[in-house]
Amino acid sequence: MTLQTVPRLTRAELARAGRMTAAPPVRIVHLGAGAFHRSHQAWFTAHATDAADWGIAAFTGRRDTVSRQLAPQDGLFTLIERGPEADRFEVIPAIAEVRPASDSARFAALMTAAATAVVTLTVTEAGYHQRPDGALDLEHPAVIDDIHALRHGQPVGTRTPTGRLLAGLSARARAGAPPLTVVPCDNVPANGERLRAALHTLAQRTGHEAAVAATAFVTTSVDRITPHTTDEDRRAVADATGWRDEGVVVAEPFADWTLCGDFAGERPAWESAGARFVSDIEPYERRKLLLLNGGHLVLAFGGLLRGHATVAQAMADDRCRRELDAFWDEAARAAGPVDTRDYRTALVRRFENGRIEHRLTQIAVDTVTKIRMRILPVLAHERTEGRSGSGALAVVRAWADSIRSARIDGETDAAAALARLLDGADPALAADIGTTAIHH
């Protein structure tokens, strides 16, 4: 039996098997329909007690691969929850439709629909086109193009997620639809407030201020390790379920979602699926960003230099573990007044899960932005407290060495990458980092 002879996963196929049929009504619009969105926000929405009332319309990002995978499957996909000893298979029904980013007509229709109450985003840190201080990068060519398109009433010409979102919010305001809530779900500190500020900047330059003023923004901290899917994973789903699924997603059993802020209208009962709503998110997001995401960078650079391919392999290397613990000691101090001991213990168990093939090359992308957000704050805190920050400096050195050794895709010039990293940084800190990274 080959995969092509197995019936394709669809709602009709599930109905024939006596399972779910109709898609939930679309009330959430999502930008960036990648694997993490499906393992995280779609999973939480599907597990909420009111899941039947909240369907997601997911729009792709730079590539339309996911729409080609999921549109023929009516938005359905199988989540493989990969524990240390066994796999668990679950069909996630929350995505009601999947569209390519180019489908601006459907995007506009959903953004102006009164039923739409929430917009979520997973576009990665670099996708927001923000400068190191969090402000919108008005010199980026894509942002310049968006300003021109929005000024001239050409929303289909927007290139960035921020530009597309502003075009949608502006259309909603003109249609007289009620305000909605924007929920970014990327590893960016204060992501809700930073996105609000970026949209406000873009709106000021294009005459769309009213659209932003009427919108609510929620800040989040998100966490679920979601490695790339392989052909072996697709075959495992076919063997276990009897369906061919082109949109399989693999994730660890652990999932965490912390949200902070007021919603403009209704929202899913995500807390019934385990999400956490708090009045102060900063301790949670800082701990996660520095220890988990920062720890991933430590293992990625050190592991790639030592010939490893996955997080679990790097964790089994004594030198990589020493480098990780040294950085974690510093990151724990920088995280502030929040538990880090139990959190670190849980991270070790998660990182050591060898059945989750979290590839180091998957982590080592957009590295300049990631180091700026995950490593430099630790170094700055250590220096402020009169310590050397040697653990954080070692990560920067390993990053530069990885570029010189051609271990990082898309980066070939360590000096140029370092210059981008230090653009706008504290001069004293920048000089020390530059000297350490260049002359190591």
Position 418 scores a pLDDT of: 86
Position 163 scores a pLDDT of: 95
CATH number, position 315 = 1.10.1040.10
pLDDT confidence tier of residue 1, bands split at 50, 70 and 90: low
CATH number, position 239 = 3.40.50.720
Question: pLDDT, tens digit, for every residue of 222-266?
Answer: 999 998 999 999 999 999 999 999 999 999 999 999 999 999 999
Q: Measuring CA to CA, which residue among 382, 370, 377 is closest to residue 421?
A: 370
Task: Say yes or no to pLDDT of 106 above 90.
Answer: yes
pLDDT confidence tier of residue 419, bands split at 50, 70 and 90: confident
| 231 vs 229: CA distance, rounded Å | 7
Position 2 scores a pLDDT of: 67
Task: Say yes or no to pLDDT of 345 above 70.
Answer: yes
Domain edge (last residue) among 277, 293, 327: 277
Position 430 scores a pLDDT of: 81
Alpha carbon 271 to its chain's center: 20
Identify whether the C-beta of residue 96 lies closer than 8 Å to the C-beta of residue 11: no
Q: Is 30 helix (H, G, I), strand (E, B) or coil?
A: strand
Please indicate, yes or no, whether residues 184 and 287 belong to a single structural domain of this protein.
no
Question: pLDDT, tens digit, for every residue of 304-337?
Answer: 999 999 999 999 999 999 999 999 999 999 998 8
Please indicate, yes or no, whether residues 74 and 212 belong to a single structural domain of this protein.
yes
Task: Say yes or no to pLDDT of 436 above 70.
Answer: no
| 402 vs 300: CA distance, rounded Å | 9
Position 226 scores a pLDDT of: 93
| 257 vs 276: CA distance, rounded Å | 6
Please indicate, yes or no, whether residues 191 and 74 belong to a single structural domain of this protein.
yes
| 394 vs 391: CA distance, rounded Å | 5
Position 318 scores a pLDDT of: 98
pLDDT confidence tier of residue 423, bands split at 50, 70 and 90: confident
What average pLDDT does the chain have? 93
Position 426 scores a pLDDT of: 81
Lowest-confidence pick of 296-300, 351-355, 417-421: 417-421
Position 338 scores a pLDDT of: 87
Task: Say yes or no to pLDDT of 367 above 70.
Answer: yes
Over residues 93-115, mean pLDDT? 96
Query: What's the number of domains the chain is made of?
Result: 2
pTM for this entry = 0.86
Lowest-confidence pick of 269-283, 300-314, 333-347, 415-429: 415-429
Question: Which of 55-59, 186-190, 419-423 holds the top average pLDDT?
Answer: 55-59
Question: pLDDT, tens digit, for every residue of 202-215?
Answer: 999 999 999 999 99
Question: pLDDT, tens digit, for every residue of 181-205?
Answer: 999 999 888 999 999 999 999 999 9
Question: pLDDT, tens digit, for every residue of 32-41?
Answer: 999 999 999 9
Q: At what angle do helices 161-175 and 191-206 cross, to 10 degrees?
A: 70
Task: Say yes or no to pLDDT of 378 above 90.
Answer: yes
Position 437 scores a pLDDT of: 64
Please indicate, yes or no, whether residues 91 and 137 belong to a single structural domain of this protein.
yes
Domain edge (last residue) among 277, 311, 329: 277
Element (H, E) at 121: strand 118-121
| 9 vs 381: CA distance, rounded Å | 50
| 349 vs 346: CA distance, rounded Å | 5
Please indicate, yes or no, whether residues 86 and 214 belong to a single structural domain of this protein.
yes
Element (H, E) at 163: helix 161-175
Identify whether the C-beta of residue 254 lies closer than 8 Å to the C-beta of residue 171: no
In a 10 Å sphere around its CB, with 0-12 CB exposed, 13-18 middle and 19+ buried, how is residue 202 labelled?
A: buried
Please indicate, yes or no, whether residues 129 and 256 belong to a single structural domain of this protein.
yes
Q: Measuring CA to CA, which residue among 425, 415, 418, 416 is closest to residue 383?
A: 425
| 199 vs 160: CA distance, rounded Å | 11
Domain range holding 342? 282-439
Please indicate, yes or no, whether residues 243 and 339 belong to a single structural domain of this protein.
no
Over residues 348-364, mean pLDDT? 94
Identify whether the C-beta of residue 198 lies closer than 8 Å to the C-beta of residue 130: yes
Please indicate, yes or no, whether residues 289 and 266 belong to a single structural domain of this protein.
no
Please indicate, yes or no, whether residues 95 and 23 belong to a single structural domain of this protein.
yes
Position 157 scores a pLDDT of: 73
Task: Say yes or no to pLDDT of 439 above 70.
Answer: no
Question: pLDDT, tens digit, for every residue of 126-151?
Answer: 889 998 788 999 999 999 999 999 99
Please indicate, yes or no, whether residues 217 and 338 belong to a single structural domain of this protein.
no
pLDDT confidence tier of residue 342, bands split at 50, 70 and 90: very high
The full length of the chain comes to 440
Domain edge (last residue) among 229, 247, 277: 277
| 175 vs 30: CA distance, rounded Å | 20
Please indicate, yes or no, whether residues 61 and 181 belong to a single structural domain of this protein.
yes
Please indicate, yes or no, whether residues 301 and 272 belong to a single structural domain of this protein.
no
